[in-house]
Each structure stands twice: as structure tokens, then as C-alpha cells.
Amino acid sequence: MHKSFEDFKFNRQILNAIADAKYKEPTAIQQKAITPILAGQDVMGIAQTGTGKTAAYVLPIIMKLKYAQGSDPRALILSPTRELAMQIEENIQLFAKYTDLRTVVLYGGLGPKQQIEALEKGVDILVATPGRFLDLYLAEHINTKQIKLLVMDEADKMMDMGFIGKIHRILEVVPRKRQNLLFSATMSELVHKIAGDFLAFPTIVEVSPQATPANTVSQQLYFVPNTKTKINLLQYLLKNDEDFHRLIIFSKTKTIADNIYHFLSRKYGEDEVRVIHANKGQNTRINSINAFKEGSVRILVATDVAARGLDVSDVSHVINFDIPIVIEDYVHRIGRTGRATKSGIAISMCTPAEAYYIAKIEKLIRQQIPVSELPAEVLIEKTPFEEKQAQAREIDMQKRKENPEFKGAFHEKKAANKKVNKAGKSKTASKRATKGNMKRKR
């Protein structure tokens, strides 16, 4: 096994950049993926974020391209979200700093003017989200004839986001003779399908069995009756600001994210907290992430949309204020802490209506999440009527999912009442019948 980056026959420029970045030894995915990629093979890598997978393909790409050449891209890296696209670009800048390779990153949410100008100056490595890539290709700003390397990162997320049609269109417009790399945290049916269309006899490299959280993350689970108790628990946990020095709080909707943000900013001041979700403008999101990275902001509240590919080192805690409904997101969320070799803690808060998803998550990660007792200081609130109703409806829906015959708690009550009524009616009917018979006999 390659114990150091020197073993990979990288050139001096790359080795110096690796040393500057303070990377000492290759991670498991880098040890397994770099050699076959350098050898020109198609590679399918199964690894979640936080395992060093971006560098696993960025380093060999830089090595293969070596220096700036012509004006058209020779490598195309596709990313499902703009956040991840920006992370990939940062990685390239980090490792290509002693080369003259040019990188352009393309994503939606901004006007394309600057991106078009950047393309016109010439590019070696193109990092793009599928939609914006196709827009600019169709507008004839991208010439794909020189592309020798195509990377699809977080393929599972691409499929979840419905990019399969766009990916097929991109595969039609890039040269047939090329090297393909595909990375995914999980192997769903759709990822299998796209891998079949995309890779020729790939070398499969897998680190840690599918969808298992990094060993560096210790997990905790609290069962709580309602949202108000979750807020109380959150408040209790955050008192310990020494341990909870940099944390991400995940919620399932924008509304809940905003509510948590308002609550925390009243409590700790607006300088301590930021919130990111799909409704926030691109620049706001970038500024919030940067402030969090620099450590000037202690708490980041986020929805899953905003959280893919968020690479911040030293995140002490991830708190799942809500349990994710897309269970794979659990692995992605908690992978925001305990990155590379650092350790971190992931805490989940679960109401009765969310226990269903916890059971599914435990099946997916093939381990049980340790349950913690609610601390005595946390006030357990009474569940408001509306929330209780919503929970009951949610639990009914889950039962129906598992068993289509299930009619729901409300139906059961009705059915029971009907039975009672029927039984009542039939008793009186049989009494009447007996009376009638008696009369006849007389």
C-alpha cells in the first residue's frame, strides 16, 4: 500500500502543493483510487464525503494534464450542487498552485456573463453543475472536443435531484474516447444504471461498507415528545460552549431552519449564527459558509439542500434537529463532522413520528444509534393538540406505507363503532324475531 504521496510518482509541483496543504499520508480512498486513475482506467469509487475522495481524483487529473494547453477543457467534473462545485474548485486551486492549469467553475443562480468571460480566456479543467453546463454548451460557449476525462461526483445525489436526463445529454456531446470516473456514497438502482451507461469495465474501489458513518463520528439519539422539547434540549446542549464550539444544526424544512435561527440569534446574538437554505441567495450562502469556515460564526443552521459537499474542518458537532426523511442524508449530514482523521459528535432528536425513519437509518448504516437519556434539567413540554394530530397522521401514513391494507387509527375507531352498532341492531332484530315466532306458535 502507498504510505506516502511520494509513492505515487507525482511530480514535484504536486508534491510541494500537498506538503503546503499539510497532507501527511493518503486516506484509504486515495490509496485505492489514485493508481488506477493514473493508469487511465475507468474507476467507480464508493465513498462518502469526508473520506478525501475529491483529492483522490483531483490529484491524478492535475498530474495527467500537467500544464495549460490550448483553450478548450480537457477534463470535466460534474457536481450535483453549486456548493460542491465550489469545494472541488478550491481543491484544484490548492493542489494545482504550482502549475499554470486553468480552472473554471460553472453553476446556476448567478448570471452567466462572468462565467462566459472566464471560458473565453481558456480553460483546462471545467467544474460544472449539469444544468449550467448544458445551457452554456447549447449557447456554443463550450467546445467539448478535447475532453479526455469525465468525472461524476456524488452520483447518488445527481440521481436524487433528477439529473439523469441531463447526464445522458452530456454523455452524447463529449468525445467517446475518454476516461470516466464516478463517485457515490451509496449504490442505488439509478446509480447502477448510470454507471452501466458511463463506465467501461471499471475498477471498483470501495472504502468502508456502503453508507456507514465514518468511525470518527460518535452518534447519540434523544427521544423527545415534541418540537418545544427539542428547543429546550438544544438550549441545554449549547450552554456548553467549550465543547460545542463549531456546530451545524440540520432541519428538514426552510421554515424550521428560520425558526431555529431566530431563536438562536435572539439568544446568542446575530454574530454567532447563520442560516442557509434554498431560498437564500447564492452570495448570502457563500458568505455564511465562509464566515462559518473562518470560525467567526459558531452555529450554522441548514437544510439538506444547502449541506451537500460542505467541507469545513473542525466541526465539533452535527445536530439533527429533525430526522431526515431521505435516510441516506443522515450519512451525509453526520459526515460533516469527524472529517478525515478528526473526531466529532452527531446528536439526533427524534419525536414519536420520526422513530420510523430512525429504524430505517439503523438498517441502512447496519448499526444501532446509542440512545441517551434526556438530562434532568431539560424541561419536557406537553405536546400541543395540533402537533399531536400531525404526529398521529404521520404515523398512520408510515403504517400505510408498510402495509397498504392498513386503514388508519381513525378508520379503526369508525369500524369498531360500526361493529358495536351492528351488534346492537342484530340483538334487537333477533329479539323481535323470537317474539314473532312466539306469536306464530300461539
- pLDDT digit string (tens) for 2-58? 678 988 989 999 999 999 988 888 988 999 999 999 999 999 998 877 778 899 999
Q: Which range is most confident: 75-84, 275-284, 334-343, 431-440? A: 75-84
pLDDT of residue 439: 47
More confident position, 424 or 195: 195
- Residue range 256-276: average pLDDT? 91
> What is the pTM assigned to this prediction?
0.57
Compute the Cα dihedral for 137, 138, 143, 146 and give only its sign: positive
- Residue range 63-86: average pLDDT? 93
Closest to 249 in 3D by CA, of 169, 203, 306:
306
pLDDT of residue 109: 82
Angstrom distance (rounded) from CA 275 to CA 250 = 10
Model confidence at 412, pLDDT cuts 50, 70, 90, reads low
Angstrom distance (rounded) from CA 300 to CA 332 = 16
- Residue range 326-353: average pLDDT? 83
The pLDDT tens digits of the residues spanning 186-204 come to 777 778 888 888 887 888 8
Model confidence at 382, pLDDT cuts 50, 70, 90, reads very high
Angstrom distance (rounded) from CA 380 to CA 69 = 64
Q: Is the pLDDT of residue 433 over 70?
A: no
- Residue range 122-136: average pLDDT? 96
More confident position, 192 or 86: 86
Model confidence at 440, pLDDT cuts 50, 70, 90, reads very low
Domain ranges of the chain: 5-206, 217-382
CA-to-CA dists, residue 404 to 71, 397, 398, angstroms: 58, 10, 10
Compute the Cα dihedral for 135, 138, 143, 145 and give only its sign: positive
Q: Locate cell 481558456: which residue? A: 122
Angstrom distance (rounded) from CA 2 to CA 6 = 8
- Other beta carbons within 10 angstroms of residue 95's beta carbon come to 26
pLDDT of residue 353: 95
The pLDDT tens digits of the residues spanning 221-264 come to 999 999 999 999 999 999 887 888 889 999 988 999 999 999 99
- Residue range 166-170: average pLDDT? 92
Q: Do the domains 5-206 and 217-382 sit in the same CATH topology, yes or no? A: yes
Q: Is the pLDDT of residue 138 over 50?
A: yes
Please give the CATH superfamily to which domain 5-206 belongs. P-loop containing nucleotide triphosphate hydrolases (3.40.50.300)
- Residue range 85-92: average pLDDT? 92
Q: What are phi and psi of 346, to 5 degrees?
A: -115, 125
Could you tell me the strand order of the sheet in which 75-78 lies?
A: 103-106, 125-128, 75-78, 149-152, 179-184, 43-46, 203-206
**Which segments of 369-432 are extended strands (E)?**
none
Which CATH code of 3.40.50.300, 3.40.50.360, 3.60.15.10, 3.40.50.970 fits the domain covering 217-382?
3.40.50.300
> Which has the minimum average pLDDT: 81-85, 89-93, 184-188?
184-188
Query: Cβ contacts of residue 185 below 8 Å, gap of 6+?
Result: 46, 47, 48, 49, 154, 156, 211, 328, 331, 332
> Which has the minimum average pLDDT: 94-98, 149-153, 315-319, 435-439?
435-439
More confident position, 419 or 370: 370
Q: Which amino acid is at 294?
A: E
Q: Is the pLDDT of residue 434 over 60?
A: no
